[in-house]
Amino acid sequence: MNIEEQVEYLMQGTQYGDETLKRNMAAELRERLTEAQKAGRPLRIYLGVDPRTSDLHLGHTVPMRKLRQFQELGHEIIFLIGNYTSLIGDPSDKDKLRPQLTPEDVAHNAQTYASQAYKVLDPSKTQIQYNATWLSKLTFAELIHLASNFTIQQFLTRENFRKRFDAGDPVYLHETFYALMQGYDAYALRADVQVGGTDQMFNIMTAARKIMIAMGEKPNIAIINDILPGTDGEIKMSKSLGNHIPIFSTPEDMYGKVMSVPDKAMPQYFRLVTRWTPPEIADLEKGLADGSVHPRDVKMKLAREIVSIYHSPEDAAHAEGEFIRVFQKGDVPEDMPEYTLQPGQKVLDVLVSGGMVASNSDARRMLQQNAVKLDGNLLTEPFQEFPGPGVLQVGKRKFVRVVNA
């Protein structure tokens, strides 16, 4: 790719909330790429992640996909584990205080985080670093110097802090340290580019750039990714909301969940979680707009692409065959988990114990919606004794084979 094509590719799926700011970042990226090309050096690109969970979903991979794009273009990639910032917890997208993790929690999560990241990144070309390396050595005097670059008013303009402040809820002083620490990460790494989501705008655009300038370095360029909606197509993908697609789910489950995404959300998925280039995406969108391709066929192509990334093309083809057989032809899956029925169990008991629903209330809701079947026959009574062995189905995608003890 020439410089212009690289800029278009790397700015794909970015969101700054302001077109002028986006153009400015694109211009800075163009200038830095040109300088690097003339100097014969790669850019230093980093993504900082706080290992607050050990299981990732597709939404977590959006900034990793951007790192992979830089990686493909020959740039130096740093995957930074925030084993020190995790001890505070990023307040950026929260309207309440995050619980502080213990060092043991952080260490456990960090072990699995990097291995999952390698589902997207090339491990042979990825540096793993930990920010405790430098943050743990900062003196109190150095922290005062960093803090002197900011005002309390700047922090109170952040929506999440402002809401808590106006509501009389506490905003703890240590929460303001997070942006300083992240800004210092960018300086310590001498980063050309920092990648993050829209919830990181203040930390990257304000804190990191300001600190780098104050420390005598060129400010890092902010590549701010849009947020991936969940399977509902509306709200940010989240495990707690149940609209997530785990990257370690089975090929069949992953394929089915992608197929459940509303058509209107497909363009965001194209840009944020696939390997497709801007021209490829433009062709798909043109086909959708002029009706030359069916949305279902495009979504199946999208599902194949995503499953291929996290499993294999062969797994994607098998998952597609299963999807067609089960959901388009009305069959049941060939392979499904088994549940051993215990004497006297009620329908509610089997739904919860068999992992088909998250809770008793969820079970009742599915029963009321006529979404529970045993061998094709509706089950509606939660306290009815479970009829016996057979294929239990909840919703469109959950199946379990119930067998006698």
**Which CATH number goes with the domain that contains 345?**
3.10.290.10
Q: Are 273 and 347 members of one domain?
A: no
Reported in sequence order, the residue ranges of 154-256 that DSSP labels E, i.e. its strands, are: 193-197, 221-225
pLDDT tens digits, 247-260 = 888 999 999 999 99
For residue 154, is pLDDT > 80? Answer: yes
Helix 295-310 × helix 278-290 angle, to 10°? 150
Please, are residues 104 and 151 in contact by the beta-carbon 8 Å criterion?
no
Instruction: Classify residue 155: in a domain, yes or no.
Output: yes
The rounded distance, in Å, linking the Cα atoms of 5 and 10 is 9
Pairing mode, if any, of strands 221-225 and 338-341? unpaired
**Domain total of the chain:** 3
Report CA 377 to chain centroid distance, whole Å: 38
Instruction: Classify residue 235: in a domain, yes or no.
Output: no
For residue 214, is pLDDT > 90? Answer: yes
Q: Which two tokens stand for residue 108?
A: 């456990």
Tell me the mean pLDDT in the region 124-141: 93
Instruction: Decide which of 191, 225, 259 is a domain's last residue.
Output: 225
For residue 208, is pLDDT > 90? Answer: yes
Instruction: Classify residue 48: in a domain, yes or no.
Output: yes
pLDDT band (50, 70, 90) for residue 187: very high
For residue 96, is pLDDT > 70? Answer: no
Task: Count CB neighbours of 338 within 10 A.
Answer: 10
Tell me the mean pLDDT in the region 44-71: 88
The rounded distance, in Å, linking the Cα atoms of 349 and 347 is 5
pLDDT tens digits, 345-356 = 999 999 999 989
In this structure, what DSSP letter does residue 200 have?
A: G
pLDDT at 113: 77
pLDDT at 329: 64
pLDDT at 72: 94
pLDDT > 90: percent of the chain: 58
Tell me the mean pLDDT in the region 156-184: 86
Q: Are 70 and 91 members of one domain?
A: yes
Please, are residues 47 and 194 in contact by the beta-carbon 8 Å criterion?
yes
- Average the pLDDT over each of 79-88, 256-265, 322-331, 332-341 and give the range with the smallest value: 322-331
Q: Are 51 and 193 members of one domain?
A: yes
Tell me the mean pLDDT in the region 142-153: 91
The rounded distance, in Å, linking the Cα atoms of 284 and 279 is 9
Q: Are 109 and 199 members of one domain?
A: yes
Instruction: Classify residue 333: in a domain, yes or no.
Output: no
Tokens 């388009």 belong to residue:
328
pLDDT band (50, 70, 90) for residue 332: confident
pLDDT at 53: 64
Q: Which two tokens stand for residue 90?
A: 């990023």
pTM (predicted TM-score) = 0.75
pLDDT band (50, 70, 90) for residue 287: very high
Instruction: Classify residue 100: in a domain, yes or no.
Output: yes
Long-range contacts of 95-102 (CB under 8 A, 24+ apart): 95/160, 95/163, 95/164, 96/164, 96/169, 97/170, 97/172, 97/175, 98/52, 101/52
Q: Are 183 and 273 members of one domain?
A: no
Please, are residues 79 and 131 in contact by the beta-carbon 8 Å criterion?
no
Please, are residues 323 and 252 in contact by the beta-carbon 8 Å criterion?
yes
- Domain extent for 127: 3-225
What is the residue type of 188?
A: A
pLDDT band (50, 70, 90) for residue 211: very high
H or E segment to which residue 404 belongs:
strand 398-404
Backbone phi and psi for residue 363, each to the nearest 5 degrees, phi listed first? -60, -45
Q: Are 20 and 94 members of one domain?
A: yes
Q: Are 11 and 150 members of one domain?
A: yes
Instruction: Decide which of 278, 293, 327 is a domain's last residue.
Output: 327
Instruction: Classify residue 43: in a domain, yes or no.
Output: yes
Whole-angstrom CA distances from 342 to 328, 349, 360 are 33, 10, 18
Tokens 């079970």 belong to residue:
363
Q: Are 78 and 220 members of one domain?
A: yes
Domain harbouring 179, CATH code: 3.40.50.620
Instruction: Classify residue 232: in a domain, yes or no.
Output: no
Q: Which residue has the higher pLDDT, 287 or 112?
A: 287
For residue 12, is pLDDT > 90? Answer: yes
Instruction: Classify residue 242: in a domain, yes or no.
Output: no
Nearest to 344 by CA among 289, 296, 405: 405
pLDDT at 77: 96
pLDDT tens digits, 215-273 = 999 999 999 999 999 999 989 998 878 889 988 889 999 999 999 999 999 999 999 99
Pairing mode, if any, of strands 44-49 and 338-341? unpaired
Q: Three-state DSSP class for 221?
A: strand
pLDDT > 70: percent of the chain: 95
Please, are residues 220 and 273 in contact by the beta-carbon 8 Å criterion?
no
pLDDT at 199: 85
Instruction: Please report the DSSP string for 26-61 in residue order.
Output: HHHHHHHHHHHHHHT-PPEEEEEE----SS-BGGGG
Q: Are 267 and 217 members of one domain?
A: no
Domain harbouring 275, CATH code: 1.10.240.10
pLDDT tens digits, 358-389 = 889 889 999 999 889 888 788 999 999 998 88
pLDDT at 249: 87
pLDDT at 95: 45
pLDDT band (50, 70, 90) for residue 91: low
Please, are residues 121 and 64 in contact by the beta-carbon 8 Å criterion?
yes
Mean pLDDT of the chain: 89
Q: Are 44 and 13 members of one domain?
A: yes
Q: Are 317 and 342 members of one domain?
A: no
Backbone phi and psi for residue 188, each to the nearest 5 degrees, phi listed first? -60, -35
Long-range contacts of 145-154 (CB under 8 A, 24+ apart): 146/180, 146/183, 146/184, 146/211, 146/214, 147/180, 149/210, 149/211, 149/214, 150/176, 150/179, 150/180, 150/207, 150/210, 154/206
Task: Count CB neighbours of 177 within 10 A.
Answer: 16
Q: Are 197 and 221 members of one domain?
A: yes
Nearest to 6 by CA among 313, 277, 361, 295: 277
For residue 307, is pLDDT > 90? Answer: yes
